[in-house]
Structure 1
């Protein structure tokens, strides 16, 4: 006799798989998507800011909730509608996450923040001031801050990926070191 599974158990299995595999995918997907969408031969690197990772996390949570709702509330009309809403919210979150980036190239710095529709691009000579803030105890990573001639500013946290690019950043912009006493 074959095994009989309730349909809701399939959604439980999907929720468990999402829960287990999403931390691994969070290490791969954001960088792969950003590199694919914003690649250019002149780029040194494409960086996904922390807010982009938060949007990816929210997208995975929405996917998890979509399948968990179908498990806990069974396959009823209201639970299906709610699950579809969560899937759509996940798609929107993935879209917003993929549009958040910072690109460093030979000519310029380009970036887009999480909810911004406009892309900011500045040539290296349009940087009015550049600062490097050493790690403040209890504050995480060191940061670069760029203040552009139009008054806009951008902070770039020095993660491992940015640390690899920091030599190029320092050679293109006159970076002032600000230590912590």
Structure 2
């Protein structure tokens, strides 16, 4: 029963980055978020922490929402899609 509950909770959390929208449902949230790329105010690309070698994207949307995506193997594969889509929308990728 506990493993079933863990699977259910994990399946509710997702982030999908597509060519038209970024959609996500955060853990323990019942609200699905969908933002077209045009709704992005800015994106910051920075290290997760000073002691961690991983990097993260912080997406800030016009409605005040913020999404943090930690770069992993899947995100690394679509990194150029993200960069090119941001260029198409004239959004600078800021590094810090």
Q: How high is the TM-score relative to the length of structure 2? A: 0.86
CA deviations 1:6-38 (Å, max 9, x no partner) are xxxxxxxxxxxxxxxxxxxxxxxxxxxxxxxxx
Would you say how many aligned residue pairs link Structure 1 and Structure 2?
A: 92
The 5 Å alignment of 1:52-71 reads: none
Q: Which moved more, 1:119-128 or 1:160-169?
A: 160-169
Name which of 46, 66, 71 aligns with 1:133: 46
Deviation at 1:176, TM superposition (A): 2.4
For structure 1, the residue ranges without an aligned partner over 5 or more in a row are 1-86
Would you identify which runs of 4 or more consecutive aligned residues in structure 1 move more than 6 Å?
none
C-alpha distance 106-137 of structure 1, shift in aligned 2 (>3 A): same
1:176 is aligned to 93
**By percentage of residues, which structure has more strand?**
2
Distance 2:10 2:92 in 1: 29
Question: SS state of the match for residue 93, structure 2?
Answer: strand
Q: Which ranges of structure 2 fall in alignment gaps of 5 or more residues?
A: none
State the distance in 2 between where 1:149 and 1:103 align.
Answer: 19
Aligned-pair RMSD on alpha carbons? 1.5
Aligned to 1:103: 16
Larger fraction in helix: 1
Q: CA deviation at 1:136?
A: 4.3
1:149 matched to 2:62: yes
Query: In structure 2, what is the equivalent of residue 124 of structure 1?
Result: 37
Tell me if structure 2 keeps the 8 A contact 1:96–1:115.
yes
Q: Which has the higher contact order (CA 8 A, sep 6+)?
A: 2
Contact 2:83/2:93 (<8 A) preserved: no
